[in-house]
Amino acid sequence: MTQTLRPGAVEDTEWSLCPVCRGMVYGKRLSRNLHVCPDCGAHCPIPAHERIAQLLDDGSIELCELATPEHDPLGFVDTKPYPHRLRAARQSTGLDEAAVLATGSIEGNPVVVVVMDFRFLGGSLGSAVGELITSAAETALRERTPLLLVTASGGARMQEGLLSLMQMVKTSQALGQLDEAGVLTVSVVTDPTYGGVAASFATLCDVILAEPKARLGFAGPRVIEQTTRQVLPAGFQTAEFLLEHGLIDAICPRGALRPTLARVLSLGARPRQRTGGSGAGAPGDGAGGAGGAVVRDPARLPERDAWQVVKLARHLQRPTTMDYLSRIFESFEELHGDRIGGDCGAIVGGIATIGGRSVIVIGQQKGHSIGELVARNYGMPRPSGYRKAARLMRLAGKLRAPLVTFIDTPGAYPGIQAEEQGQAIAIAQSIRLMARLDVPIISVVIGEGGSGGALALAVADQVFACSNAVYSVISPEGCAAILWKDSAMAPAAAAALRIEARELLRLGIVDGVVIEPPEGAHTDHLVMAERLRAVIVQGLEELSAVAPAELVARRHARFRAYGAAAGPSDVLASGEQQR
């Protein structure tokens, strides 16, 4: 027997015909491959119950039955009455409605999951589906368990008219309650996801993953072409298109979905209880093995030629954020996009674990080759990069996850398009957001810290600099061109600006200097990563004992003190007395 795979047609027939490459695939082989064509990689649709079995741990699955009575509020009739369509869909799929609700776990991480099934009236969003999604969100809220939504839909159910449209609000406000309660939400977009589902719960989740080639959009291609008379570009609305435009976090092949979801869901685990007192939090040497890696007294650091330090800070083989992400953290899952149309490669970020603790990590990224530098815009973030960072910062705040940032940029990108897109506003909003974020924040200047473009990721409780890093209000070349009217005076400007680590520590800009190998961090990435890891683990341990409100108050006092006439120590003491 031979069949062409249709939505939901995944039975283990002897042979199947791939709808994309038109190749013949042995049924059992296709099933073992999670119904992904082994020849072309096409992700064939699968029924909701099979999806649940693929994702959730064996023995953990509990299906949740909801009453789904026949509901025909309009008495709708097209070529047949709506109740007849419902009965036919139930008979052909074995489902009560276009979605299935279950609870269980993924690699031990508890989860409430709803999986939509396109076979049932195109996975349309009607009152019963809206009720099911909302009930799932309420269960997640009650149990403080992450919510996972796997979507496949043609949009709102026309046969239920405006009542169907109202489900967009009903489900959206349910996810809003999870936001307020700090419960993680994740969606997996499968092909296709359109209309009311795309414009509500599918795109309101904290993390949005998509299967390869999955399509998502408000209006379908046929509607767009008929309405606008525009010719759509190749790949329009596919997962690849969405990722490029910053609208989803990642594309995840079906075979990698379970472990990826496990890493993401680990961020939603309940954090350790933090004490309400002032607790620990003052930097100290020795604890956590970081003592030998950090110098906190500027007198212990040698005087350096500032221009030579600048050259080392810019060394092409110096470890980048991505180098450290792979060496410092036990795991890292990169998240992409600002969700409004852009994904700047000069800023990377995502979910990580360090010392058994889940964190959000964000950093500026350069590269080691011309190709990498060009792809990352030489480490100069655009507004979309700062807005992506802000989205991840808000996620850290929602989930009570500490934030770790790495600073390495010559400055924010100064181009025309960046100004048109609100570069100054994006930086200002990032600074304000970090200042009020009530979770522990650690920032490390690993290379160049260029002006406001660096500061936008460096409003932290503990700030460190590598011993060959620099941090400045402007580049030495820029300062020389403006004040000396001669860019050749950059070395003199570097010295005058006091931008190297010893001066940063003396001025109180950083809390400690992480010592690099004798010839520089570029000579031994692994050693430098081990030192930074020790510093970050120690810092997180210290800050985890500080109450959220106290973190914000201390951070406010820290930055309030800079440049104050009374002096930093007096301002800090005043802040302590006020509390």
- Per-residue model confidence as pLDDT tens digits over 27-37: 888 888 888 88
- Count of domains forming the chain: 4
* Identity at 287, one-letter amino acid code: A
Q: Tokens at residue 158, please? A: 């026309």
Predicted confidence at residue 10, as pLDDT, reads 46
Examine residue 281 and state whether it is found in any structural domain, yes or no: no
Examine residue 23 and state whether it is found in any structural domain, yes or no: yes
CA-CA distance, 267 to 359, in Å (whole number)? 7
**How sure is the predictor about 265, in pLDDT bands with cuts at 50, 70 and 90?**
very high
CB 464 within 8 A of CB 535: yes
Least confident of 157-166, 396-405, 532-541, 559-568: 559-568
CB 197 within 8 A of CB 172: no
CA-CA distance, 177 to 225, in Å (whole number)? 37
CA-CA distance, 274 to 357, in Å (whole number)? 13
Same domain, residue pair 486 and 404: yes
Look at residue 273 and tell me whether its pLDDT is greater than 70: no
Q: Tokens at residue 362, please? A: 């964000």
pLDDT, tens digit, 9 for 90 and up, residues 408-447: 999 999 999 999 999 999 999 999 999 999 999 999 999 9
Same domain, residue pair 242 and 322: no
Percentage, residues of the chain above pLDDT 70: 92
Same domain, residue pair 101 and 244: yes
Examine residue 276 and state whether it is found in any structural domain, yes or no: no
CB 351 within 8 A of CB 358: yes
Least confident of 39-43, 326-330, 515-519: 39-43
C-alpha torsion 460→400→52→108, nearest 10 = 100
Same domain, residue pair 75 and 219: yes
Which CATH number characterizes residue 490's domain?
3.90.226.10
User: Which single residue is written with the structure tokens 């149309």?
Assistant: 341
Predicted confidence at residue 1, as pLDDT, reads 35
Same domain, residue pair 352 and 299: yes
Look at residue 175 and tell me whether its pLDDT is greater than 50: yes
Q: Which of 114, 388, 378 is nearest to 246 (CA)?
A: 388
Q: The sheet that has 24-26: what strands, in order across it?
A: 2-4, 15-17, 24-26
Look at residue 320 and tell me whether its pLDDT is greater than 70: yes
CA-CA distance, 102 to 408, in Å (whole number)? 44
Predicted confidence at residue 22, as pLDDT, reads 84
Same domain, residue pair 61 and 37: no
Same domain, residue pair 558 and 439: no
For 45, 149, 251, the CA distances from 156, given in Å and listed in that order, are 20, 17, 25
Examine residue 287 and state whether it is found in any structural domain, yes or no: no
Look at residue 87 and tell me whether its pLDDT is greater than 70: yes
Predicted confidence at residue 24, as pLDDT, reads 85
Same domain, residue pair 252 and 307: no
pTM here is 0.90
Same domain, residue pair 462 and 329: yes
Look at residue 255 and tell me whether its pLDDT is greater than 50: yes
Look at residue 83 and tell me whether its pLDDT is greater than 60: yes
Examine residue 278 and state whether it is found in any structural domain, yes or no: no
Same domain, residue pair 329 and 449: yes
Burial 371-410 (b: 16+ CB within 10 A, else e): ebbeebbbbbbbbbbbbbbbbbbebbbbbbbbbbbbbbbb
Examine residue 271 and state whether it is found in any structural domain, yes or no: no
Same domain, residue pair 243 and 340: no
Examine residue 286 and state whether it is found in any structural domain, yes or no: no
Look at residue 576 and tell me whether its pLDDT is greater than 80: no
Same domain, residue pair 308 and 375: yes
CA-CA distance, 567 to 575, in Å (whole number)? 13
Percentage, residues of the chain above pLDDT 90: 80
Look at residue 142 and tell me whether its pLDDT is greater than 90: yes
Higher pLDDT: 284 or 363? It is: 363
Examine residue 284 and state whether it is found in any structural domain, yes or no: no
Q: What is the domain range of residue 373? A: 292-540
Among 266, 283, 314, where does a domain finish?
266
